[in-house]
Every structure is written in C-alpha cells, then in structure tokens.
Amino acid sequence: MTTFHVAVTGSDRADGTPVAPFRTINRAARAAMPGDTVQVHEGTYREWVRPVRGGTGDDCRITFEAAPGEHVVITGAEVVAEWVHEGGTVWRAEVPCTLFGDDNPFAEPVVGDWLHPGPGGVLAHRGDVYLDGRSFHEVHERAAVDAPERRTHVRYPWTALDTELVDPDGTLLVWYAEVGDDVTTIWANFQGVDPSSALVEINVRPAVFYPTRTNLDFITVRGFELAQAATPWAPPTGDQLGLIGPNWAKGWVIEDNLIRDSKCAGVSLGKNAASGDNFALERGDKPGYQYQIEAVFTAAHQGWERERVGSHVVRRNEIRDCGQNGVVGHLGCVFSTIEDNHIHHIGTKHEFYGYEIGGIKLHAPLDVTITHNRIHDTTLGIWLDWQVQGTRISRNLMYRNIRDLFIEVSHGPATVDHNVLASPVAIELFSQGNAFVNNLVLGALRMQPVLDRATPYHVPHSTQLAGYAFVYAGDDRYVGNLFVGAHRGVFGPDAPLVLEEFDPESFGTHAYDGFPASWEEYRERVGAYSGAGDHARFHLEHQPAYVRSNAYADGARPAAHEDGPLTVAHDAVVRVVEEGDEVHLELRLPSALTVPSTVVTMGADLGRVRIAGTGYENPDGSPLLCVVDLVGEHKEPGRSYPPGPLARLGDGTTRVRVW
C-alpha cells in the first residue's frame, strides 16, 4: 500500500514521495492502485480530478484525502486578475476563450428536461463570477449591470409562498457576458470593491472530482473544499454530472468535505447519458415521463443491479450554495447512505426553476437511508421521486425551507421517523405506502392521488422490476407524531415565520377524512362497486389510512377515524433556534403532550403496502425498529414515550441541542 503526496510546490515529473511530491492530483490519480492513498497538501488546486481506476473492494480502496490539519481547495474556477474600470462600480474583463477548453460555460445555457427559465423567460448560463468566494447573479443585458434590481419577486409553484431575492448584506453583485470567437467579455458590478485588490474568479470546468469513465468503484474522497463547477442541469432523464460524483459506479465514500457553488448539482449519485440524455427536450415527441420510464428499463438492460452500481456513502459534508441540488441521483443512488450532512442554500439564487430542485433530490432511492442531516434554506429539503421503496428518512432536522419533504409517484414502503419538519409545507405526498412515526410536524400536510402516471415498483431489496401502478392516495401510516398548528414556532430569536396565506385546515392528518380506516373496510368499499370494471373500481376509492396515537395542538386536527388521538386546546410553542454552529429545539408544551403515550413502533406494526406487497424492513431484510430518537437516545421496545421525535420531554419549557 503506497501513499502518494501532492503539493503546490511539487512537480508531475517527481515520484510522489513526501520530499518529491506531485504537482497535480490527476498525476497522482494516474499512479494510484487499489489500496493506495493520495494525500494532498495545503493549497488551491485548479483542476478537474478524473480518476482512471478504482479500488477492488471496500477493504481495498483508492483514497484521496487532504493532509491532516491542512486546508486543500480543489476548484473548477480560474482567477481573472485584469479588470478595466468602466465607471461607477462596473468593471470589464476580456477572457481568452482558450481558457475554457471545449466548452465555454458563458456560452452554454442551463437547459434540459423539466427546466423552466428564470424571471422574464430568459435562460441562465453555466458560467459564474465569484468575489472572494461569493457568487454573483447573472443579468441578461448590459444595461442591467449598471443598476441591478436588488429585489426580485418570485412565486413558488405548488405553494402559496412568495419570496424576495436579495444578497445577505443588501447588495446585489451581478455580471453579464458576451462571447466572441476569441474573447469572452464579462462586465461585473462589484458594488464598490476594487477587483484588483480582491480574489475574483470565474468557473471554467464542468466538474471538480468526477471520472469520465464509468464503473470505477470503491473510491474515497475526504477532507477537501470542493468548489465552483459549471455543472449542467441534472434531470432524471439526462446525464447527471455533478461537482463531485462516481459516474455510475459502486461503493464511493464522500466524507468530511465542504462542497459549494455548483451551478446545478453538488454531489451526483445519478445516471449517465447511456440510458438517455434529455430526449424529451431535444426530440419533443414524448413527455419526459415516458422517457423516464424508458431510462429505467434501459438501465436494467445495461446492468443496473446491486453488484455494479450504488451502495455509496455521503456523510459529514457541508453542501451549500448549489443552484439545483445538494445531492442528486437517479438509479445510481440505490442502496446508499446519506448521513450527518449540513445542506443549505440550495436553489435560492432562483436563476432558473425546474421540477428537479431540492437539497436532496433522488429518483429510485431503493433501500436508501437518509439520516441525521440538517437541511435548511432550500426551496425543498428532501424530494424523493419514483420507486421510493425500502427508503428510510430518519432523525433529520429540516427548517426554514419552503417545503421540507415531498414523496412523489411511489408505492412504498418508505419510513419517515423521528424527524423535525418545521417549514411552512412540512409534508407533501403524491404517493402511497408511507409510514410516519414519531415526527414533529410544524407545517402543512398535503396529499393527493396521481392517476395519470404509472410508476414502477420492485422485488424487495432489489433493482429487479416487479410491476408498475398508479397512485391512488392513502395506504399511509401515522403513529406517535406530534402535529402543531398555527402557533408552531419561530426560527431564531427575532425571525417569525408567518403563514397568513396557508389554510389552517391543512395542519394535521384530517386530509385523510373519509378514507377507509382498515384493510377490511377498504376491501368492502372496493367490492361495492359491482358495476365497475376489474380495474376501474380501484380508481374510485382511496386506500386505507392507518392513523393512531398521534398528538395535535394549536388547531392541528386528527383524521376523523383516528384511533386514540390526543388533541389539546392550549398553545404549544416550538422554536428552532440557531446559535452559531449549534441548533436547539425549544418547546413549551402542555403537560398532556409530555407524558408517555405511544409505544415503540416496529416494522411488523405497520403491515404491508398494498401495491408492492412488502413490509417495512431494513435493507438487509431484518425487522425495522424505530428505536433511536432525534438526538440518538435509544428507546426500549415495549415502553411508552411522548409523541414526537424526543424520547424525553420535561414539563414547562424544554431546550434540547439537536445539532
């Protein structure tokens, strides 16, 4: 086992030893064999790292790591030092097009399936400008550089929320570019900063750490700052290039990194172009939905299976300031774990809009575990779409998002337990077969059937396709959750979240009023449609909603048929309070909500989902146990605990550090 060293003072003609290090990480990547380590020393490396081989097993990896205690930056950007003052706060730079190689991101628009342009219908470009690491906003005419609009009004589809865009200090840094045959001219408003006295960069590379070959398995990337990639739009029907990712491989570990400023996707665990690449946009002959179905079957023909793809680990990273996703993946994310990450400010520049934007956006997350992540200041925290089966979302802290959790056109089983869902829209379900256990739900709950898009389901714990079906709504479970309505809380000491535009009737589980309460009742109702055809009668009835032992306060209401709900009329106040790097949960709850009232839930208690015909299990097929609370305290099976994600609650005001 060899350790190769890389340093900014090195040479690629050296031998990679501590006294004669390589200059580039790519040179070390060409030398590294299974079992070897590439250790990179302090400094900034302006390169796209493209490994040429992987490891041979989990015990024989190729590891790329920052040297202990040293700050290593790998960036897709280059410095632009020569700026000409145009007057006022505007400066101009002329950049040779040769700097960009084959693809100039200032000439490449962000386009693809399910993408919508930004305000005014214009297309953003993949290029960007950075002042001391802070990204600018693109404008689309030269005159707008002189006097940028500091605020832009944006309304979010599917919500009643508006927002205004403004940089944190009240200024708006903007750029505009014109691309010629030989020179790209960039105008930028630096708001009074002299660019000659600051670090000004532009992104030139489409990725930072991403192989161009597929099936390079068992690679670890640890301890870097990975920044500033001109990534393309990454829909589930396209080549999902990210700032960092395995590119259709198995067993990567991406840990302890700062991953920031990707134009679109930060970490990609997704598909590549081999199973389709934006055909809906390019051909216009079929909807993206149809091409997505084809991508699933094409990938299956190409070897989409546990032995060849997935089983990645993404942990303890900070992922921020990405335009589309913190983590994205279709098909290639199967059997993976995403844990202990801090994901924030995703999709918040609003340069473009599409139906694929979220802190974590995964399609086909079969047996994926998403646990103990802090996700805030995103347009959508976690969005799981298609083939959500064997998936577990546990012990996550989500707040100050527009929406927290959206599960779409899937059949389950999916388990959501011991989370804090504290944003205006806490839960949206265009899906079925979900189990919500011991969550704190401080926002609205919305659900609906989807009878125009049939989506696949699988043999349990496998990529093997078992069938496909519509979403009829229901077949969901709610046990031991705490729902708090209109007075549910504020974020920070002085930042109330106001919900005037939200219907107070959307808090709680009563969206399931009128659903069958049991399997027996469902069978009886469906059987009563004697005049309907074999399949049509199922379209006429919601599936059962299994709801029991939840607690409700401040106007949140239970489903009419709930078994054993606890409803209190007194105010219940919950605060998510940030203090530096720490986050605390402050609760002032009526005493009725702090006493033990629900027993530990096991997978066997949740039954089997109707369409996929499988129960709630761990990825290895062992029984599922919801026994670890939000802060890591273990519960004892058979004992009772208070509703919500904390095993212990005191009377009066409780303050718990949750991050």
One DSSP character per residue, 413-467 reads -EEEES-EE-SSEEEEEES--EEEES-EE-SEEEE--EEEEEEEEESTTSS-EEE
Q: How far apart are CA 49 and CA 651, in angstroms?
A: 54
**Span 161-209, pLDDT tens digits:** 444 445 555 578 999 999 999 999 999 999 999 999 999 999 999 999 9
Indicate whether 426 belongs to any domain: no
| CA nearest to 451, candidates 465, 470, 434 | 470
Higher pLDDT, 376 or 505: 376
Structure tokens given for 300: 């299956």
618 domain residue, yes or no: no
Q: What is the mean pLDDT of the chain?
A: 92
How large is the average pLDDT for residues 373-395? Answer: 97
Query: Mean pLDDT over residues 31-47, rounded?
Result: 98
Quick one: the chain helix, strand, coil %, rounded to 5?
Answer: 10, 40, 50
Taking a C-beta distance cutoff of 8 angstroms, is the pair 375, 344 a contact?
yes
Q: Tell me whether residue 141 is in a domain.
A: yes
Task: Classify residue 385: in a domain, yes or no.
Answer: no
pTM (2 decimals)? 0.95
On whether residue 414 sits in a domain, the answer given is no
Q: Which residues contact 526 (CB under 8 A, 6 or more apart)?
A: 537, 538, 540, 541
pLDDT band at 487 (very low <50, low <70, confident <90, very high): very low
Over residues 243-260, the pLDDT tens digits come to 999 999 999 999 999 999
The pLDDT of residue 534:
83
CATH code where residue 131 lies: 2.60.40.1180
In which domain, by residue range, is 126 found? 77-203
Structural domain includes residue 542: no
- More confident call, 500 vs 178: 178
pLDDT at 139 over 60: yes
Burial classification of residue 407, based on how many CB atoms lie within 10 Å of its CB (0-12 exposed, 13-18 middle, 19 or more buried): buried
Cα–Cα dist 639/597, whole Å: 9
174 lies in a domain? yes
Contact 123, 351 (CB under 8 A): no
Confidence band for 496, pLDDT divided at 50, 70 and 90:
very low
User: What average pLDDT does range 612-626 have in this prediction?
Assistant: 95
Q: What is the Cα gyration radius of the chain?
A: 25
Give residue-wise pLDDT tens across range 389-401. 999 999 999 999 9
Closest CA to 365 of 332, 398, 404, 394: 332
Q: What is the pLDDT of residue 536?
A: 83
Please give the pLDDT value at position 498. Answer: 39
Q: Lowest-confidence range among 151-155, 307-311, 428-432, 538-542?
A: 151-155
Higher pLDDT: 176 or 536? It is 176
Distance CA 128, CA 105 (A): 8
Q: Report the C-alpha gap between 299 and 321 in whole angstroms.
A: 31
The count of structural domains within the chain is 1
Residue 193 pairs in a beta bridge with none
The mean-pLDDT minimum among 47-61, 106-120, 309-323 falls in 106-120
User: Would you state the pLDDT for residue 401?
Assistant: 95
Residue 380 burial (10 A CB sphere; 0-12, 13-18, 19+): buried
Mean pLDDT of 639-658: 92
Quickly state the pLDDT bin for 490 (edges 50, 70, 90): very low
pLDDT, tens digit (0-9, with 9 covering 90-100), for 82-124 = 999 999 999 999 999 999 999 999 999 999 999 987 667 789 9
Does 125 reside within a domain? yes
